[in-house]
A and B are shown apart, each in its own frame.
Chain A
Amino acid sequence: MSKPSGTNIALGVWTTLVFLFLFAPIIVIGIYSFNGGRLLTAWDGFSLEPFTAIVDRPSVRHAVAVSLQTAVVAALLASTLGTLAGMAMARFPGRWTGPFTLLLLLVSVTPEIVDGIALLPWFVTLGQDWSLLPFNNGYVRLVVGHSLFATAVVTYIVRARLIGLDASLEEASADLYAKPVATFFKVTIPLVGPAVLAGGLLAFTLSLDNTVISSFINVSGTTSWPVYVLSSVRSGLKPEIAAVSTILLVFTLLVLGLVAWVLKRSGSSVTDTMAAS
């Protein structure tokens, strides 16, 4: 291993500072969720009031509930679409893979603001001009908006997992006279299970955090939690926003820890899978 030379010490100090920088605002939010003051930015003594305030404010609870419900449905949808697409890309590549990869790439790099402003008129066209009434529903709009990037993420993860696995297990199944459909359900699906779970949980956290698309396609009555927070940036941030965020942060970390654990147990590299997204 390298000797502790001057350069290495300087690099180590620099890296430590970078980590402090990365965690500074998260730590601040954690501390300020115990702010007893009326406004979030002005500290006024330690208090548990922000946490008890959540219970008293139905609008906060409703926004969090909208977000959680949307995230579950969006994650299920993205996992289904992404798993099928990822398996197709890994096991049945052909002339279609190129254009499809391009589509996924475009979905991943397009700024969210463009998705948001494109979806808003599209939902109006579908829901009002063409009378497809579900698209006037706030939940449907949120689920559709959140499922796009998440589908691409799940596809990448499932594809990476399957490419890393030998196809010989599926070939063996075929050699043993299993029909392609039987092989698919009895061999391929169990093999991709961990990747699907990891991708689905990531889709869940992505949906939970989605601010930009949600704020454009928002329908009053189904305001999601990040949209509620963004609108209170203008009207005045209250300490209970930090309190809810701290709870959600702990929750997200637990979910991510679960992803890491599942991937580790299934033997694929956590770093590679998550970096791929």
Chain B
Amino acid sequence: MRDRAAKRLPGFVLAVPAWLWLTAFFVVPFLQIAWFSLGEKPGMFGSHSNAVMSLDRYAEAFSPTFFTIFRATLWMSVLGTIVCLVIALPAAYFMAMKVPAHRRGLLVALVMVPYWTSFLIRTIGWKVILSSEGVLAGFLTDVGLVADPHDLLNTRGAVLLGLIYNYLPLMILPMYVAFDRVDSALGEASKDLGAGRIRTFFQVTLPLARPGIIAGVILVFIPMMGDYVTPAVLGGAKGTMVGSLIASQFLTAQNWALGSAMAIVLILLTMLIVILAITLMWVVGWLVHRRSRLVVGTVPPPDPRLHNKEVATA
């Protein structure tokens, strides 16, 4: 007891530098923009003033001009997250369940290589691929899929492709870890009890991997909402996202009050969607669980779709 009391003081002290540092350069700056967001832009040359306090900047951020971009960003991020999920799920499942154990480490490292190489340069790589002078644009125009070689770049579609590409590793990795932790004995038990491969996947493997899927969705959706580089490189004027909007308030319009309000709206909107998505996934999981729970004593009514198979195994 005496030792523990003596230990606690130095222990806490060790974390103090990091705590102070993050407070001074993360928490306080954030509080400052929260304060700015309640002010206004005073005249042509000022960037911010809190002489008059109001929520008018928030009303401005929700005005149709800006809110269309918020809606487009939300739509692109939701769609991008769903596409990432669909692309990553089979790949992560294959890597964790089908690839021999000694080769898995190499595949995980390969997924991480793009993630740890420069985000900006990878996005520029897509700019090269999609550019009107590129091989792809030439081919698609010759085949007739695209009318004009300039149609690929500087579109919402190009930004969406960039978003999916840039955040895909963040979806694959947590899913891989989740599938990797699923005990293969449970899948075998499910098969021994007469469940088919598809039923085993959807009723045993997938529910067990759910934490990894939720982690992947959150890890991908949050940075997509706040992305600034991808629309700047691939979007041109048509592919603007909230990140570009906030940046222009700070770098060109010099309206710090409005830019701050937009940043706060972005964070609140992202949090709201994440909470909604988690609740939704929880409810779906609960419904599935309730439908397939084990009933001891009385015999559950047979599922008509599985009737034939159950008769066959009996």
Interface residues of A (CB under 8 A from B): 1-2, 7-8, 11-12, 14-15, 18-19, 21-26, 28-29, 32, 40-43, 80-82, 84-85, 87-89, 91-94, 96, 100, 103-104, 106-107, 109-115, 117-122, 125, 144-145, 147-148, 151-152, 155, 174, 180, 184, 202, 205, 208-209, 211-212, 216, 226, 229-230, 233, 237, 241-242, 245, 248-249, 252-253, 256, 260, 270-271, 274-275
Contacts and interface: CB of A to CB of B under 8 A. Distances in A.
B228 interface: yes
**A-B complex: 6 closest residue pairs judged by Cβ atoms:** A92-B11, A111-B226, A25-B125, A118-B29, A88-B14, A122-B29
Nearest to B23: A103
A118 B124 CA distance: 27
Interface string B111-136: 11110111111111111110101100
B26 A245 contact: no
Contacts of A237: 124, 127
A201 to B, nearest CB: 10
Interface string B74-93: 00000000000001101101
A231 to B, nearest CB: 10
A94 B247 CA distance: 40
A81 B18 contact: yes
Given A84-B15, A119-B25, A151-B18, A92 B10 contact: yes
Contacts of A152: 22
A234 B221 CA distance: 27
A44 B311 CA distance: 68
Interface of B: 3, 6-8, 10-15, 17-19, 21-23, 25-30, 32-33, 36, 47-48, 87-88, 90-91, 93-95, 97-98, 100, 105, 108-114, 116-129, 131, 133-134, 165, 168-169, 172-174, 177, 197, 222-223, 225-229, 232-233, 243, 246-247, 250-251, 256, 259-260, 263, 266-267, 270
A254 to B, nearest CB: 12
Contacts of B15: 84-85, 88-89, 96, 100
| Residue of A19, A82, A87, A92 most packed against chain B (CB within 10 A) | A92
Contacts of A205: 116
19 contacts: A18-B87, A18-B88, A22-B168, A24-B125, A25-B165, A92-B12, A94-B12, A100-B15, A100-B19, A111-B225, A111-B267, A112-B228, A114-B226, A119-B29, A121-B36, A205-B116, A242-B124, A256-B112, A256-B116
